[in-house]
């Protein structure tokens, strides 16, 4: 089964020519499902959501999405505090925590936005328990969690780690091997990491920005994920200026008794 992961489109700061090439590259990958890890828009305005909606309407494969912090209002405080997800639900879809079941994978959407802490994000105990149950009940399907905010930061990352992330990793590590897909940092990274209570059960894949001009030292990219039985192959597709998205790297991992190991 093949997934395509895109994130941080940031319509309002997008390049139209890049968007068209991204669309063509996704179509060419022939995915079974496209997953969008939030930040469709820059400032949660209708003028930005309109082209974002047009983009997903033109996708030729099924897709699911979760909101990112830029998808809820920042400066419009009444909207941010009283109905932070209203624009996302109107333009993108009513579900902010969708679930998709396919051959070999269960994709679990998680809404990590927080009206009180716009940038940082949050995962609470109710969400942790819900996702843990879905990991345990996945059977032969690989559990894949889709969220905007990463659950682990490398030391060089200046942004604050999402509230509740360590507790979530500890709880889910006891449920078995799984994958977390995310965005937010505008950098590409694939690696297993260790929770405080269990080794190597979580493989994180976080995507850079797929269409925004807000680059942070890396090129625009997206990921192709080929999912097998307790295995996953991740291909990074990078945009070359004036050209197209080309393969930059490929990494394969398998889940064994001691967690994820690179194949």
pLDDT tens column, 102-121: 999 999 999 999 988 778 99
Which of these ranges, 20-24, 31-35, 185-189, 209-213, has the smallest mean pLDDT?
209-213
Q: Residue 247 belongs to what H/E stretch?
A: strand 245-256
- pLDDT surpasses 80 at 79: no
SS3 18: helix
Give the integer Cα–Cα distance in Å for 111 and 192: 22
Closest CA to 171 of 205, 209, 201: 201
Q: What is the pLDDT of residue 35?
A: 99
Spatial separation of the C-alpha atoms in residues 35 and 62, rounded to whole Å:
9
- C-alpha–C-alpha distance, residues 89 and 101, integer Å: 22
Q: Which two tokens stand for residue 256?
A: 């064994």
Domain that holds residue 252: 2-262
Q: What is the CATH number of the domain that holds 43?
A: 3.60.21.10
End-to-end CA distance of the chain: 18
Confidence check: pLDDT of 198 > 70: no
Model pLDDT, residue 162 = 96
Structure tokens at 154: 């490398």
How would residue 45 be classed by pLDDT, with cut points 50, 70 and 90?
Answer: very high
Per the prediction, the chain carries an average pLDDT of: 92
**pLDDT tens readout for residues 116-138:** 877 899 999 999 999 999 999 99
The neighbouring-strand residues paired with 251 are 234
Least confident of 176-180, 226-230, 238-242: 238-242
145-190 pLDDT tens trace: 999 999 998 888 888 999 999 999 999 988 988 999 999 999 999 9
Give the closest residue to 239 by CA, choosing from 214, 211, 216. Answer: 211
Nearest to 160 by CA among 172, 146, 149, 171: 149
Total domain count for the chain?
Answer: 1
**Mean pLDDT value of segment 221-228:** 97
Quick one: pLDDT band at residue 196, thresholds 50, 70, 90?
low
């Amino acid at each position: 089964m093949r997934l395509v992961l895109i994130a941080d489109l940031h319509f309002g700061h997008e390049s139209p020519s890049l968007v068209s090439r991204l669309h063509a590259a996704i179509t060419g990958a022939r995915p079974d499902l496209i997953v969008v890890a939030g930040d469709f828009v820059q400032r949660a305005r209708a003028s930005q959501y309109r082209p974002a909606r047009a983009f997903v309407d033109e996708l030729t494969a099924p897709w699911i999405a979760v909101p990112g912090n830029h998808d809820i209002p920042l400066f419009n405080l009444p909207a941010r505090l009283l109905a932070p997800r209203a624009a996302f639900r109107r333009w993108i879809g009513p579900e902010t925590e969708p679930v998709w079941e396919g051959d070999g994978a269960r994709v679990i959407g998680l809404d990590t936005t927080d009206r009180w802490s716009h940038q940082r994000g949050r995962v609470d105990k109710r969400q942790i328990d819900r996702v843990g149950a879905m990991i345990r009940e996945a059977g032969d399907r690989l559990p894949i969690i889709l969220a905007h905010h990463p659950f682990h930061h490398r030391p060089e990352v200046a942004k604050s780690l999402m509230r509740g992330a360590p507790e979530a990793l500890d709880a889910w590590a006891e449920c078995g091997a799984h994958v977390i897909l995310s965005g937010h940092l505008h950098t590409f990274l694939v690696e297993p990491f260790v929770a405080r209570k269990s080794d190597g059960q979580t493989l994180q894949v976080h995507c850079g920005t797929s269409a925004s001009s807000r680059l942070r030292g890396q090129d625009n990219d997206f990921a192709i994920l080929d999912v097998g039985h307790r295995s996953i192959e991740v291909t990074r597709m990078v945009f070359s200026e004036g050209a197209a998205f080309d393969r930059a790297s490929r990494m394969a991992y398998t889940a064994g008794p001691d967690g994820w190991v690179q194949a």
